[in-house]
Amino acid sequence: MDTWKTEVIKRYVVVMIVVALLGGVGYYYWQQYTKKSVIYESQKQSETASGVALAAKEAHIYMLQSQLEEAAGQIAALKNKPPDTIIKTVPVEVLKVIEVERKKRDADFAIVTNPNEPDKKLDSKEIEKLSPDTQITLNQYNVYAYKKIVRGVTIYPDWSKTIHGNLKLQEISADISKKMSKDGKYIGVALGYNVEDSKFKLGLRYTF
């Protein structure tokens, strides 16, 4: 192949890589800019899997159908129970207080409803317009899509001896991973010990 053709191909590949990287970075920051961590819904809507799914979509959080149904069931069960925390504040500061509580509980996002009007979607702008002495009761449901930290232990028996009734441990490993993405990808480390060789080994773990 001619030299000039090779150079053209190289430059084309470099340009495509740069474009892909810029696109990835742009998409990441677009998600950060457009995502919501506090979502307002009606009480009835929040008690359905579709309502939780809508909130998760606005928060840019991926949840399995089973997780959506579980969260909706928990919200329905909690609505008539005493709150874990009662906070008094002025209407204009409601959103800030909700976000502080969400971060304190390390939740992925929060769904906020008005229990006194269960069929009506809560409007944050209407709340902010209320006079400072107005009393209003809101329900905040913190939703957890994935654990922040995942730990595991793996045991490897010597199966050649185990099938003959002689249980013998060949290797054991422990790992710990931290959630790195909204769709449940984890990166961590794993430490293993081989009993037969009396050797340790350290590795990286990626879970998706």
Residues 114 and 89 in one domain: yes
Residue 21 lies in a domain: no
Residue 179 lies in a domain: yes
Residues 42 and 139 in one domain: yes
Which portions of the chain are predicted below pLDDT 50?
Answer: 24-25, 27-34
Residue 129 lies in a domain: yes
> What pLDDT score does 18 carry?
60
Residues 103 and 198 in one domain: no
> What pLDDT score does 8 carry?
61
Residues 128 and 60 in one domain: yes
pTM: 0.60
Residues 201 and 128 in one domain: no
Q: Would you call 33 exposed, middle or buried from its count of C-beta atoms within 10 A (0-12, 13-18, 19+)?
A: exposed
Percentage with pLDDT > 90 across the chain = 33
Number of domains in the chain: 2
> What pLDDT score does 13 carry?
60
> What pLDDT score does 33 carry?
46
Residues 157 and 120 in one domain: no
CA atoms within 13 Å, Cβ hemisphere of 160: 1
Residue 60 lies in a domain: yes
Contacts 24+ apart (CB under 8 A), 68-72: 71/141, 71/143, 72/46, 72/47, 72/48
Residue 95 lies in a domain: yes
Domain that holds residue 102: 34-143
Q: How far apart are the first and last CA of the chain?
A: 42
Residues 134 and 169 in one domain: no
> What pLDDT score does 112 carry?
92
> What pLDDT score does 7 carry?
65
Domain boundary residue among 143, 163, 194? 143
Domain boundary residue among 93, 128, 143? 143
Residue 29 lies in a domain: no
